[in-house]
Amino acid sequence: MTDVVTDSADLTKDALRILASAAPRAVSESELVRSLVGLGYRVTDTTRDTLVAGLDALGAVSDPRVTATAARAFKLNASVAKVVRSFAR
């Protein structure tokens, strides 16, 4: 599941980059936008690191039904992240 958290964080960063680059040049190159994108990256990294640490601390979930449901949901998110990332390149 930590792979899904990492992929989701990467997707968020890609989205931030795409949004910033879609703005008019004067806006996308402004200090305000650069600061907000940088802040978004830092928040995303912190959230990712916290979630991964929490998942590592919890270890395996004891109920296999919960694990299977979560795995299906995260697999879908990872698939969507790969598609969006392919458009970003």
| Predicted TM-score of the model (pTM) | 0.61
pLDDT at 26 over 60: yes
| Domains held by the chain: number | 1
Mean pLDDT along residues 62-89: 63
Place of tokens 């968020």: 12
pLDDT at 10 over 70: yes
3-class SS of residue 23: coil
- Quote the domain boundaries for residue 72: 2-88
CA atoms within 13 A on the CB side of 33: 15
| Phi and psi torsions of 75, nearest 5° | -65, -40
Q: What is the CA radius of gyration of the chain?
A: 16
Task: Between 61 and 68, name the one with better pLDDT.
Answer: 68
